[in-house]
A and B are shown apart, each in its own frame.
Chain A
Amino acid sequence: MRGFTAAALAAIGATFLAAAPEAAQISGAGATFPYPIYAKWAEAYKAKTGVAMNYQSIGSGGGIKQIESKTVDFGASDMPLKPQDLEKAGLLQFPMIMGGEVAVLNLKGVAPGTLKLDGKALAGIYLGKIAKWNDPALQKLNPGLALPDQAIAVIHRSDGSGTTFIFTDYLSKVSPEWSDSVGASTAVGWPVGLGGKGNEGVAALVGRTAGAIGYVEYAYAKQNNLAYALLANKSGAYNQPDAASFQAAAANADWRSAKDFDLLLTDQPGAASWPITGASFILMHRQQAKPATAKQVLDFFDWCYRHGQSLAAELDYVPMPASVVDLVEAGWKTQITGPDGKPVWTGPGS
């Protein structure tokens, strides 16, 4: 019995030790949207350097809580924190990766990428004002399509999500009525519709429900071969959702003048932009008690920025443009410091 207890204690102790950020182990937690690419980057980085990165995709809210209580080396959120909240928690925020969201459909007789929607129509559908596919507002946008006399099944996320935040932020920007009555957040009071859990839940509901419309990250729509709608951007142009149009939205964004990178990529100007584009953010403490670990974390992110682009493209994410990377890394050099007040990271390979 005593031997067993000792063994159990040793096992528990070993678990805790393994979880602690030892020399070759860094840990993060947060948003689910960037999880596939973070996992891929971690795998490649470990093969190259031996440094393992452990990321728990527990959701943006959980990531923020964990980094605030310092149980992880970095947090990840799809919703940028406001400068005053960052200041209160002593956190630095920077964008890591971008991606797009698409409106997916299950509509018999309508080929993928042929139905056109604009922001007002999409908001109307999600407000419940447009309840049938042959509504005059939709028919007007699609003069060449024979839209069926079928009820629209509105699908949204049932769990709180950065994906929902980006989507509702877009609707708030294009529809004053949405902004007034619903607003933008990771979870909102949906006026109509059914909720699916996770991107896969929404994709499954849309795929299984005749007459459905939903929103998912582009990668999920692509993997599940879901039909998507074309969305009018701010300039009124209809583009295909792909890396090029996501990148165009990001390129038009003015990161330089956004304090703490508190910037959203939805409804960006530019004829080539995709309207529902978003970035995922990393959160780190400005004051680092363990500068060696912090340096390892930043080395990892630096590697991702500079060598992770092709992996990102494989998974349909959009890497940050070089100009933004320079801006982010300049922030690291001045704002993340150790107990001695010296910056923990001074440049690639330092």
Chain B
Amino acid sequence: MTAAILPALRKPRLGRFGDPAFRALTSAFALLVLVILGGIVAALARGALPALAKFGLPFLASAAWNPVKENFGAAAPIYGTLVTSAIAMLVAIPLAFGIALFITELCPAWLKRPLGTMIELLAAIPSIIYGIWGLFVFAPFLQAHLEPAIIASLGALPGIGALFAGPPLGIGLLTAGLILAIMVLPFITAVMRDVFATVPAILRESAYGIGATTFEVVWRVVLPYTRTGVLGGIMLGLGRALGETMAVTFVIGNAHRIQASLLQPGTTISAALANEFTEAVGDIYTSSLIALGLILFIITAIVLALAKLMLIRLEARAGA
């Protein structure tokens, strides 16, 4: 008798204690993320304190970087980080958009799968490979062919000519931005392709049915339907571009200077950290580098917050 009842009893007991236990376990995991994040911020802030106390707010605006005189400023790495990421986005977003559209809307069925796989393969290449390729293949190509042409044409224009001045080095902000564009391309493309594929066929076919062109379908139906996902893909790419280290270090020139020309060397926050942390002698030097890390953290947080804000506004407008 008891033997027959026991299994029946055990079931509800498991449910009673199993669910709360599972809830506790998962919430502990979630809490762990917060604890780790908080710990990182606290450790960065503590490490950055000596430098921030010494230089104050001008640390953000100063382009000085002199380990000998222990005078440091974050302006050059911040500038380099933002400019290279901006170049990467400027190049990668239209490209990714075009590729994703081609795959979902125009591509013959037999090409869809191989093309998609190839793009995903791009994402699987380690960043050091991009760096080495950039240094040995891409940079010499830019120096010999693309940059002289840019300097001769765009460099001669008034105003924006300053952006494309100077000797062709093959190494610099532009090269780093272009490498970053190639690196973030698969991420943005993959997300865009997936969200474009979620558009219900009935919407698409209705649009074609009332005589819309492919362009109109894309612009009026597919894009509005998927803009949240598209923006998410762009942010994913931007996050990667802001923090990318190894490939950038190889091709950016690692110079703590702010120059108008995109063809000249610069540095990014992560490149400066990767280069200088091991041999940074002295407390202020080390602390300044940690402060750079904190700034990168803040920049990334701001970018994410802006993205969230944009999404909320988009949704509000769509709802209205």
Binding site for B on A (CB under 8 A): 58-62, 64, 151, 153, 158-161, 182-190, 192-197, 201, 204-205, 208-211
Contact = CB atoms under 8 A, between A and B. Distances in A.
A188 B254 CA distance: 12
Contacts of A161: 279
B143 A186 contact: no
B286 to A, nearest CB: 9
A64 B170 contact: no
A194 B254 contact: yes
B280 A187 contact: yes
A94 B253 CA distance: 35
What does DSSP make chain A's interface, helix, strand, loop or mixed?
Answer: loop
A64 B281 CA distance: 9
B256 interface: yes
B214 interface: no
5 contacts: A60-B279, A151-B167, A158-B267, A194-B253, A209-B143
B279 A195 contact: no
B69 A183 contact: yes
A59 B276 CA distance: 10
Contacts of A201: 250
The range of chain B's interface size is 35 or more
A205 B172 CA distance: 12
Contacts of B143: 209-210
A205 B131 CA distance: 12
Interface string B166-179: 01011110000000
Contacts of B169: 153, 194, 209
B253 A195 contact: yes
Interface string B243-254: 000000110011
Contact of A193 (B67, B71, B265): B265
A188 B67 contact: yes
Contacts, number: 101
A183 B71 CA distance: 13
Given A153-B167, A209-B171, A159 B66 contact: no
Given A159-B275, A194-B253, A61 B280 contact: yes
A18 B275 CA distance: 30
Interface string B157-190: 0000000000101111000000000000000000
Contact of A160 (B171, B249, B280): B280
B65 A195 contact: no
Residue among B65, B143, B254 with the most chain A CB within 10 A? B254
A161 B278 CA distance: 9
B275 A183 contact: no
Residue among A187, A192, A196 with the most chain B CB within 10 A? A187
Contacts of B276: 158-160, 187
Given A185-B68, A189-B65, A158 B254 contact: yes
A209 B167 CA distance: 11
Contacts of A204: 135-136
A96 B141 CA distance: 43
B139 interface: yes
B255 interface: yes
Contacts of A208: 135-136, 139-140, 170
Contacts of A196: 254
Contact of B278 (A62, A182, A185, A194): A62
A197 B249 contact: yes
A186 B265 contact: no
A160 B254 contact: no
B64 interface: yes
Contacts of A184: 68
A61 B275 CA distance: 13
Contacts of B170: 208-209
B135 to A, nearest CB: 6
Contact of A158 (B167, B275, B285): B275
Contact of B67 (A64, A185, A205): A185
B136 A58 contact: no
Nearest to B71: A189
Contacts of A211: 167
